[in-house]
Amino acid sequence: MQQRARQTGFTLLEVLIAMSILAVGATSILAIFVAALSFQTQRVEDNRITELYNFAREHAQVTFNSWDPAIEEAGQKQKKGPKEIKADLTTYEAAQGSGDPLVLDAFEKFPGFRYEIRWSPYELSVGDSSWVAHITIFRLSGQADESTYWNKEILTRSGVPVGEFFSSPVLERLTKEDLREKRTGQ
């Protein structure tokens, strides 16, 4: 009797198992790539928002420096405090409609975003020397706007940070006297 030679090779079942393992591995690797791409896109947007925040802070300082409280006292048409800024950078027409050249500059650098700057007096201020700028950056994600509140910046006329601004003994004394007068009502 003739003996059959044993054939070597893979059965259909072994090939199917190997292909399913390969498919699971490939799907996992693709999922990791998609997650990494999404994370990288988010990081790029976060970096752009940080740059926009620095730009908005400079815009707030320029606006604050151009505000003249003496005009207010003279009865002319100027709001109490620096003007509020609503910068819509979604389209060129919206940016141009603001009439502010810094908003047009922001549109060229950060298209698609929006930011707002609101003002409130700084409690420890000496006269009108410093105000708080409330800066809010808006990011566009899909159909809905997601607002990200960033920071309150205390601005001074000279542009010097408040920590350095109030390090002067004369200004510290004036600030303490100002607070004492507010408490006593004199």
Rounded to an integer, what distance in angstroms lies between the CA atom of residue 73 and that of residue 120? 18
> Is there a contact between 145 and 139 (Cβ–Cβ < 8 Å)?
yes
pLDDT band for position 15 (cuts 50, 70, 90): very high
Query: Could you tell me the pTM of the whole model?
Result: 0.64
Give the tens place of pLDDT for each residue, 125-179: 555 567 888 888 887 653 344 555 556 677 766 555 544 444 444 444 444 555 4
Whole-number Cα distances in Å, 55 to 62, 74, 77, 85, 169: 11, 32, 28, 13, 32
- Please write the tens of the pLDDT for every residue from 143-153: 344 555 556 67
